[in-house]
Amino acid sequence: MNQQNSLERQITHILRHMLPLALTITPRPDGHYIWQWMEQSGEASTFVEAVAHGLTQMQVASLPVELHESGQEEDELVMLLLVRQLYAHINTLRRTETHDIVIPGPGGSWTEAMRESYRVRGHLETLLDEVLSELDAHHQREARAEEMYIE
């Protein structure tokens, strides 16, 4: 426990003073942690989870808002980061016992994870629709190429 507190202090110092990040991790009396970056915030059950959620939120937010105007590599990165973020939220949902969902604290984390999961899902669905449309376009190209070959 003492090593964990020391590590938390070191990471908190790095986040505040050595990296140009506006990410804060605040311990709560109940043992959970609150992460906050800009106007985004959330609760996590461990310090590491709070840092991971905060950094993931920063990564996703720093990517272009107009996903369809970004390059192929950026779209792939956006998709991977969104999947990673979705899994982090799903893991929070999995860890919360059903009877804890209505209790403040664990229930708050669950509610936040559920809300964020659906937000991320919307972004993923948009990206996936774009990728599948491109796949359909390539299939049509294949059909045209076969027609040209037959003629």
Q: Give the distance, in angstroms, between the CA of residue 21 and the centroid of all CA atoms in the same chain.
A: 17
Q: CA-CA distance, 21 to 65, in Å (whole number)? A: 20
- Is residue 54 included in any domain, yes or no? no
DSSP string computed for 6-26: HHHHHHHHIIIIIS---EEEE
CB 24 within 8 A of CB 41: no
Span 89-102, pLDDT tens digits? 888 888 888 888 88
Task: Look at residue 68 in the predicted model and tell me its pLDDT.
Answer: 41
Which residues make Cβ contacts (< 8 Å) with residue 11, sequence separation at least 6?
A: 25, 47, 51
CA 63 and chain centroid, separation: 12
Same domain, 79 and 142: yes
13 is in which domain, residue-wise? 1-45
In a domain, 109, yes or no: yes
pTM above 0.85, yes or no: no
